[in-house]
Structure 1
Amino acid sequence: MTPSSGRGLLHLAAAVDQPGAYDAAAYTEPARLAERGGLDFVTLRDGFARPGPDALAVLARVAPETRRIGLVPTVTTTHTEPFHVQAAVATLDWVSRGRAGWRLDVSAGEREARLFGRRPAASAAALWREAGEVADVAGRLWDSTAEDAGARDPATGHRGGRHPVDFTGSTFSVRGPSTVPRPPQGHPVRVVDATEGPARSTAARYADVALVRAAGCAQAAAVREELRSAAARFGRDPHTLRVLASLVVDLAGGEATAEPGWGSLLPDRGHGRRGATRRGAQGPPLYRGGPVDLAELIAAWHGQGAVDGFHLVPAEPHRDLERLVNGTVVLLQHRGLFRTFYPGSTLREHLGLARPASRYAAAGSGS
């Protein structure tokens, strides 16, 4: 069954963060569970101030244990080499056969800066400008090597399909070309948390998916409109930007009511107000309730055109992801609001996004 909503496809993603876990099974099993539910992708957070294994390496390990679900690690653009970052993300796309994404983030703290000793901490605005430059050069590098770049020209004996990038940013320069052949998706999916102002321009210009930590339907709709308008000003088709509301979900109470408070969308049924509640300025808002009411909230926000979908962070990783997939997702599928199978094999196909042509395709270098 395919979704019947006039608002377009509903997209669902989930975090598979496992604090303190280093064993691969701790991440493989939740990714498989999310895949059984047909979710678009899973995310895994990372950062220089966050203890734990490298997110990109973990999801590269998860890739051969899954078949369809997208894999989106956080990779910071601060204190890292853009050439190495894009090569690692491109490699994940190859390893997963076209299911890689990349959640861009920045490291603004002095503590992180001291880990490297190259430069002091910078403002969020400066770091997100740099992140945009990294996103830009990554796309250029992904295009710089064609799929058949290893083939030799029979006349000259030279290998073709490689293009120098010669990019100079505010804090780095890259000549290129990439050492990794063009990824299966052309460009792996770029994800940006666009909640805070400094990140919104980068999201509008370069992201395929923007995450928004919104505590109410109206707030989410306003940010979505702002992002799409900005994308249009950058010359993009705004309909190619997917905006997902990010919520922490605590399903411990079964069908118990959500806490009264922020962003309540569903009506009071005599048991208190159900909906999203404020968790704190630094994290996603919290939904506390049951799988049925969460399905209602998702359907309502999406039905009103406030968002293209949801990125859901289980409050308790094992319990809440299972209740999300086996409860909320099943209810949405029964209502025809969410797919029951993957129509394609790549993350771009899950999101309804076209594979971008190489900027060098016109020169006959392949796409």
Structure 2
Amino acid sequence: MPQTPPTHRPIQPLHLAFALDGGEQHRERFEVAHYVELARLAEIGVLDFVTLDDAPPPADGAAGRFDALAVLTQVAPATDRIGLVAAVAAPHPGPPSVPAGIVLLDRISRGRAGWTPPAPDAVASGPSGPSSGTAFAPQDGQDDASAGLHDTASAGTGPTDGWPVIAVDATLEAPRETAARHADVAYVRVGGPHAERLAYEARTDLRRRAAAYGRDPDRLTVLASLAVELFDPADAVVLADLFGDWHRDGITDGFHVRPADPPRDLARLVNGTVPVLQQRGLFRRFQPGTTLREHLGLDRPVSRAVDRSADRAGGRSVG
């Protein structure tokens, strides 16, 4: 058990997310209705959000590929509250802006969209040659707005769209700084006999880095990403015990469940694990709002451009 500070208090609330594309299944054989059904079930379980990744083009050169964003754009109108996070590449190499398709998903879902940019090794090269090697951090001399991070106000027209959540896979060292500086959510994949210690150390490290950038560490939600196989209904109770123990000990802000069999494991998570957590007072019984930011307890960010205009109007220079 990791040693927690004397002033430690249990983390509240517990956040839960689910990967719709877990396991080794061939996603191209599934219809959109399959993902709609899963997302609706996750919504019944009052989970914060579901995730879906793009798939690479077929290795044999055949036409067609799995398009996560296209799928979630169709899932959005069929759901009401569940957050929808797509892992898709930016439209060009180098430090990417939030893709227009993600902003559109945020608009269609009325504030429930999120984006996981490609990991550094996934953007190390592109059609135009090597990139900067960073996931989406600004290059030297650039500010956050020019990199397109949290500054997409012009893309949205209402109070709930134009501000998709940024969720970074911070398992490896390379994207940790990016996650600490810019992300709303950070995933850390852990497993094996030392998973608990690794999850605690990762959360502590990310919070320290966020504070070094002048951020409130509590505004960065760190999720332990776990591979899960719920073979038997009793396994759902065992999982609830693990979630409860880690929550009590301040190990993580919540969990990103990567299932072996999404339909089976989600059903047992929603019908078994979640009710146990709710009975123990560890998980909510309803969503606190209608947007993903509300689920995560995040305020709508203020455009850096707006900040600069206000500063100039007040006679202060902005570096």
The one-letter code of the counterpart of 2:70 is A
| Partner SS, residue 132 of structure 1 | coil
Other-structure match for 1:240: 219
- Shift in alpha-carbon separation, 1:46–1:133, aligned structure 2, 3 A: farther
**Structure 2 residue corresponding to 1:322, chosen from 264, 267, 271:** 267
The one-letter code of the counterpart of 1:252 is F
Other-structure match for 1:338: 283
Whole-angstrom CA distance in 2 between matches of 1:83 and 1:188: 14
The one-letter code of the counterpart of 2:249 is Q
**Contact 1:86/1:138 (8 A) holds in 2:** no
Residue 160 (structure 2) pairs with residue 184 (structure 1): yes
Other-structure match for 1:42: 50
**Contact 1:15/1:311 (8 A) holds in 2:** yes
Other-structure match for 1:119: 129
The one-letter code of the counterpart of 1:16 is L
Other-structure match for 2:174: 198
The one-letter code of the counterpart of 1:57 is A
Whole-angstrom CA distance in 1 between matches of 2:15 and 2:97: 30
Figure out how many residues of one structure are paired with residues of the other and give that number.
284
Superposition TM-score, scaled by structure 1 size: 0.71
The CA deviation at 1:71 is 0.2
**Structure 1 residue corresponding to 2:20, chosen from 13, 16, 22:** 16
Q: Percent identity, aligned pairs only?
A: 48
**Contact 2:288/2:294 (8 A) holds in 1:** yes
Alignment map for 1:215-364 (pairs within 5 Å): 215=191, 216-255=195-234, 290-361=235-306, 363=309
**Structure 1 residue corresponding to 2:152, chosen from 100, 117, 142:** 142
Other-structure match for 1:132: 137
Whole-angstrom CA distance in 2 between matches of 1:225 and 1:78: 33
| Partner SS, residue 84 of structure 2 | strand
**Structure 2 residue corresponding to 1:88, chosen from 91, 101, 106:** 101
Other-structure match for 1:169: none
Whole-angstrom CA distance in 1 between matches of 2:104 and 2:281: 35
Whole-angstrom CA distance in 2 between matches of 1:181 and 1:118: 33
Whole-angstrom CA distance in 2 between matches of 1:231 and 1:58: 33
| Partner SS, residue 244 of structure 1 | strand
Other-structure match for 1:53: 66
- Shift in alpha-carbon separation, 1:340–1:201, aligned structure 2, 3 A: same
- Shift in alpha-carbon separation, 1:314–1:230, aligned structure 2, 3 A: same
Whole-angstrom CA distance in 1 between matches of 2:148 and 2:43: 28
- Shift in alpha-carbon separation, 1:191–1:7, aligned structure 2, 3 A: same
| Partner SS, residue 226 of structure 1 | helix
Superposition TM-score, scaled by structure 2 size: 0.81
The CA deviation at 1:82 is 7.0
**Contact 1:16/1:30 (8 A) holds in 2:** yes
Whole-angstrom CA distance in 2 between matches of 1:7 and 1:340: 17
Whole-angstrom CA distance in 2 between matches of 1:225 and 1:71: 27
**Structure 1 residue corresponding to 2:36, chosen from 10, 23, 28:** 28
User: Runs of 5+ in structure 1 lacking a partner?
Assistant: 146-177, 256-289
| Partner SS, residue 245 of structure 1 | strand
| Partner SS, residue 14 of structure 1 | strand
| Partner SS, residue 192 of structure 1 | strand
- Shift in alpha-carbon separation, 1:80–1:31, aligned structure 2, 3 A: farther
Residue 111 (structure 2) pairs with residue 98 (structure 1): yes
Greater CA deviation, 213-222 or 191-200?
213-222
